[in-house]
Structure 1
Amino acid sequence: MYQDPKRVRTKSTVYLDQYEADVITALANYLGVPKAEVMRQMLMKEARDVLGIDLVGLDATVAQQAS
């Protein structure tokens, strides 16, 4: 069905307070992209930073995609 079954996205729940949710919503509105995309990009950037993985040039950021 899928070329790479490991690329199928699964659902995860994140509980945010109103202030945190407002920041995500404002950023998504500013960039013109869905909130899920903003959060996914932020999560993966933090994970790469923590793990020391440098993927510069291989992965477009949310800001680049919005342009």
Structure 2
Amino acid sequence: MYQDPKRVRTNKATVYLDEYEDAIITALANYLGVSKAEVMRQMMMKEAQETLGLDPVASVSTMPARDS
């Protein structure tokens, strides 16, 4: 079913947010039209890649490719 079984999202990380932080994430998710989990995943991965000095273009994207 999956080309790479390691890409299946089975690992869980819990993050506790206060009401203000949750409101910001919810607003951004609504604006982008995606789930809060996707917003937080993308933000986390971007920060991790920048911190580690990785090239985000060379990394495998979790967002599906758009057909032009």
Q: Same fold (TM over 0.5)?
A: yes
CA positional deviation for 1:57: 7.1
Aligned to 1:16: 17
TM-score (norm 1): 0.76
Distance 2:39 2:24 in 1: 11
Runs of 4+ in 1 over 3 A off after TM superposition: 57-61
Gaps of 5+ in 2: none
Q: Could you tell me the TM-score, scaled by structure 2's length?
A: 0.75
More helix per residue: 1 or 2? 1
CA-based RMSD of the aligned residues comes to 2.4
What SS does structure 2 have at the residue aligned with 1:11? coil
> Are 2:38 and 1:56 equivalent residues in the alignment?
no
Query: Percent of counterpart pairs with the same letter?
Result: 69
Residue 27 (structure 1) aligns with: 28
- Distance verdict in 2 for CA 1:2–1:44, change over 3 Å: same
Say which is worse superposed, 4-13 or 39-48, in terms of deviation: 4-13
Higher relative contact order by CA 8 Å / sep ≥ 6: 1 or 2?
1
